[in-house]
Each structure stands twice: as structure tokens, then as C-alpha cells.
Structure 1
């Protein structure tokens, strides 16, 4: 992680004021962190996918802005420009899908501690040590330590903006390249789950993550939150507003992943570059509320949703979570209306089948009232 300069004596502010519910948490409601977590992960190392056509996956990856770190007939490893581990790994398989996230632990001892807690073994992994777990949603989660990241790659500097009464650019023009943007790093990923409360508690307890924002369904406020944005707990060191997010829904699995680029021009010009090559935009360009990122969402050729973003919030551990009602209109401060594709509410056989399965499973958190409340929130 790059060093960040924090103004001396800066005091935490109520960063949620004006954007969130005044009610906040109810007594006895879901806590935003575990009192004594097993370990505290320090970052998100990579995501893994399975795809049938690695040549096609590589073409999209280069157009999206990744750098190929390694390529074999059965594996595609991708990285950004920063000195960080390769952030996306694609393995050859018959059916496209998400294989799971890999988080970074502070030490090998933390990996061993987590393995003892889970009753499983530590395994060698790319020169380090790893433990593989399964979260309450059934997702495979790996935690690693002892890995050596590659050196940083050259990248363009952020553009200097002439703003208001404090211009900084003289006798110079702005000519950002119309090309694939330079992915700097993996930022976060989002999951949908039918077992939201159990999964959330697991990430807080096992991995020591803390919640930046909770969302709830207005019609079912007494049932607690239905979405959470989780960040790593690095104490006084600011970190991304969310490294992962999860929300309650009728399906379980991957929703999207997000990759940081240099600035607004990289987001916008990168989107134009993708559009010119025939890829389909899902939603954007806009600015989120929770996390504040400038965003642009796309589908890759296997219909996996991926995001370019810039200018995200950074929080340290002193900030308490915000609380807000869950709604489609509450996803952005500005930008085009959110699409059905982004919300996952496009009618079709797959959605109907998921609804039927969810309602037929008495062990999850989905019932008719929840589905009605979710539909109402996504229409709001």
C-alpha cells in the first residue's frame, strides 16, 4: 500500500452527515466489527475466475487496462501498474464462473492462527503460505502471507486541473490518451448472498473486517441491515471505504469487481475506448454515494461485470458506520439512471429459477416479504 500524508492533528468528522438515515443503528442490532477477531486481513490480493476461452479473456483484459503478468495454455494472470500482487487470475475451464477471493494477511503466523481456528491445514502458495476456507454462503476464500509483489510499472501522472481561483496549469494543454486506461490495482468485489447475516458475521470474526456503511430495507427495518460495505482494519492508517461489499438477494455469488485507474479522464476515455471496441456498458459514468467513487461498469465477453473507478474514499478505523435505506436511486450522487442490468433485475428464466430456489430453502434469509421489499427498493 502506498503511503498517504494525513494532516497533523486532523480529527475524524461525521462523514455520513447529510447522506444517511438519522435513525442509525437500533439497540442490539448488527455490530460493525468483531470485538476479538481471529486475524485482521490487510488487503485484497486477487480474485480468481474460470473461463473457457483464455484468448478472448486476454483481449478484453488488455482493452480494459490490465497488464499480462503470466500466460500459459491454461492460466492467465493479470496485474496493475502498482507494486502489488497480480490481481486477477483466470484458469481454463468448461464453464465461466467466479472461483473466489484471496485476501492478504499481515504475517504467516496470522495464516496459521486462522487455520487452527478453522480446523484446516496451511498450504504452500506461490512462495508463501495460505489457508483455504469456506464462508457461510459456500464461497471459497483464501488467505495468504509471505508473498513478494512485483515491482511497479511506469504509468502516467494524474492530470493537473485548473479549478476555481487556484489554477495550476499554465501554457500547457490537456491531451489524455484515447487508449485503454492503466489499471493501477484491484479495489474491491461485491457478493450477493441468501445468507447475509451469517456471512457478514463470518467476515467480521474470521478476517477482522469492519463495516463502513450499512443499508437496510425501509419496509423491513426491524430485520436489520441487508447490505454492508466492509473495509480492512488498519488502525490509524486509512484504507479503501470498502474492500468487499455484500447484499442480501435471491442468488449467491459474484456481482462485480472494481479496479482503480488514475483519474476521471482515465475512467471516461477508457469507457470510450471499450465502447469503440464493441463492449457493452452496464452503467456509468457517475459518482457513488457509499465510497464516493467515480464509476463506470462494463460486461466482459463472459458477462462478468467489472468496474473502472477513481477517487474513492479512504477511512481509518475511527469512523463508525453510516446507515441508509437501500434503494436504486441511492446508489449514485450523479450519473445516468441505474440500469436493470446493474441491479440484476432483468426478467428472465434464470432470475425466476433463482427466486423459486431461494423461496424453497428454509435455511436462508429469503421469504416473500423480503423479495417484495427488495423489489420495492430497486424500483425506488
Structure 2
């Protein structure tokens, strides 16, 4: 993944939330806000000025030649050269739910920020204050009332592989599927997108990998002290061996601190897994109802973006 593009009526409030979450300002003007992490991506998060919502998910293509091939899809809007930090080229297309996807290539990388090394000085102690350190965007989760059609479209269009499928009761009662990228023998994350059944289409959450597992706890303390809206965690997703913590932005867009220790390749086994009502399969507490039903509404593409 490259970034997520959201929408909010107050860029200052969103910037404050994202800085406490662990990002750094890359660029801001009157209409949009770009935030980066400590890695080499020019930005990981875009906020457009407008009504609260979700606009698009951005994906980096591994081969520039794929841009031309994808530009020929019926849903595509041709090759563009957006005026954004890092430059590059992109195409835009819409999924079966009307949600925008941005497929990008040729973005210039930036210098990573220095790592946080925990070394106790002469006057120090064994704790670190301040926000977590976000490294990269890891994945998104997306709710849809048309789950089977949406899964099929993402797999056909991008060659995604199913990792784990969740069902309640009978195997035909599928409530979600994790999908990963196909890089052959190369190791990849458990999923790049989680598609789940919901009453309406919308973004469930966007997930950001932090520098180390300690950052999950640094981040929790910092976000709590700043009185941000905590949704769920700290806990562990059994699938993917992922340590997580979920926070809601001031505009009802859920963001996850995440770090994972399981990797897969194209030969990794696909599993169908029976879970309890309310997605109760993870380690820790049962997910709250607001987590299960979360779906940030889709908003239209903004002029000039």
C-alpha cells in the first residue's frame, strides 16, 4: 500500500490527531494535508478538506509497465501526473461499490527519519514518552454488502491471493476474507486488504505498521493522555500474529497501530475458519459493537486532487 485518502472538515484537527498517532507533516495547503512516517515514503496519509469520509486507497505497482495495462480497464480514468509530494504517475479506477483506488508508480523516495534507540543515559529511566513511530501503511479493511462480488473483483483485477476466510455457522455464511499480494516466493504480509460483510460499503479501518512492538504501548499511553477516542486493544489478532490497537479520528475514521510477525508467500495455505458472532476469534476481549459495525462512508472524488 502507498496511502489512504480521507476527507475531513478541519485539517488542523486531523493533523493534531495524526501527529499524536505517530506521523509527521509532509505538506499542507488550504485544501489538503499530507502526512508521512519515519520510512522513505513521501506520504502515507492524505486528508482532503470536505465532509467526513473515505475517498480512496492508494497502491504502489511493483512494475511500471502494469500502469499501462491497468489504464485499459473499463473503470480506469487514464494515466495522470498528480502534483503531490514525491510526484509519480497514477491511474484511478472504481471498485464495484463505487470506491476509488489509486494505482501509483515512479514516486520519489525521501530520507528515512532516525530510528529511536532505547539507550538509558546517566539521568534516564526505562520508559519512553511521546507518540508511536509509524513506519508504513500496511493494509486496509473494507466493508461491503456485496462481499462475494467484491472479493472476486479485487482478485481478478489485482491478482490477489486469499489468505484466510471467516465464516459463522455454515461455511457458506462467509463474513470476511483476507487477501494478500502475489509475489511468488517472496514473503509478504498476511493481507493487504480485508474485505468484510457489512450493511453498507465503507472503510472499516486503515492500518499502520509501527517501528517496534514497544511503539504499540508508547502510542497507547500517548494517545490516552491526549484524550483520543480509543476503540479496541491492545490485543493480538490470531490470524497473522498481529499486535493491534485501534483509534478513531475526530471524524469517525478508524486507524490501527499494527505490527505482525507472520509472513506468507504464494505457496502458503488458504484456510477457512469458523468464528463466533461478533468476530470473536482474536486473543483478548470480544470486539465492541462499534468495531464490528464500523464503516466510514464513501465520499466523492474532490476537485483538483
Cα offsets for 1:21-74 (capped at 9, x unmatched): xxxxxxxxxxxxxxxxxxxxxxx1110011100010111111111011111121
Aligned partner (choices 115, 130, 139) of residue 155 of structure 1: 115
**Secondary structure in 1 aligned to 2:98?**
coil
Residues of 1 paired with 2:70 and 2:226: CA distance? Answer: 45
Aligned to 2:166: 215
1:174 is displaced (CA, Å) by 6.9
Aligned to 2:299: none
Aligned to 2:269: 320
Cα offsets for 1:347-368 (capped at 9, x unmatched): xxx9xxxxxxxxxxxxxxxxxx
Aligned to 1:273: 222
The alignment covers a number of residue pairs equal to 289
Contact conserved, 1:233 with 1:317, CA < 8 A, in 2? yes
Aligned partner (choices 269, 272, 290) of residue 239 of structure 2: 290
1:86 aligns with 2:43: yes
1:119 is displaced (CA, Å) by 6.3
Aligned to 1:142: 102
Aligned to 1:101: 57
Contact conserved, 2:75 with 2:93, CA < 8 A, in 1? no
CA pair 153-247 structure 1, distance change in 2 beyond 3 A: same
Residues of 2 paired with 1:98 and 1:119: CA distance? Answer: 19
RMSD: 2.3
Contact conserved, 1:45 with 1:85, CA < 8 A, in 2? no
Cα offsets for 1:240-297 (capped at 9, x unmatched): 1111101112111111111111223211121111111111211111110112111111
Contact conserved, 2:26 with 2:42, CA < 8 A, in 1? no
Contact conserved, 2:75 with 2:94, CA < 8 A, in 1? no
1:122 is displaced (CA, Å) by 1.8
Please identify runs of 4+ aligned residues in structure 1 that moved more than 3 A.
328-331
Aligned to 1:200: 151
Residues of 2 paired with 1:191 and 1:252: CA distance? Answer: 7
Residues of 2 paired with 1:177 and 1:98: CA distance? Answer: 33
1:233 is displaced (CA, Å) by 1.1
Structure 2: gaps of 5 or more residues: 297-305
1:342 is displaced (CA, Å) by 1.2
The structure with the greater share of residues assigned to helix is: 1
TM-score, length-normalised on structure 1? Answer: 0.71
1:344 is displaced (CA, Å) by 1.8
1:77 aligns with 2:34: yes
Contact conserved, 1:241 with 1:312, CA < 8 A, in 2? no
CA pair 217-337 structure 1, distance change in 2 beyond 3 A: closer
Aligned partner (choices 42, 55, 68) of residue 25 of structure 2: 68
- Choose 1 or 2 for highest CA Rg: 1
Contact conserved, 1:107 with 1:146, CA < 8 A, in 2? no
CA pair 51-262 structure 1, distance change in 2 beyond 3 A: same
Structure 1: gaps of 5 or more residues: 1-43, 161-172, 351-380
CA pair 119-299 structure 1, distance change in 2 beyond 3 A: closer
**Secondary structure in 2 aligned to 1:240?**
coil
Aligned partner (choices 117, 140, 146) of residue 189 of structure 1: 140
1:132 is displaced (CA, Å) by 0.9
Residues of 1 paired with 2:261 and 2:74: CA distance? Answer: 33
Residues of 2 paired with 1:146 and 1:276: CA distance? Answer: 39
Aligned to 1:55: 12
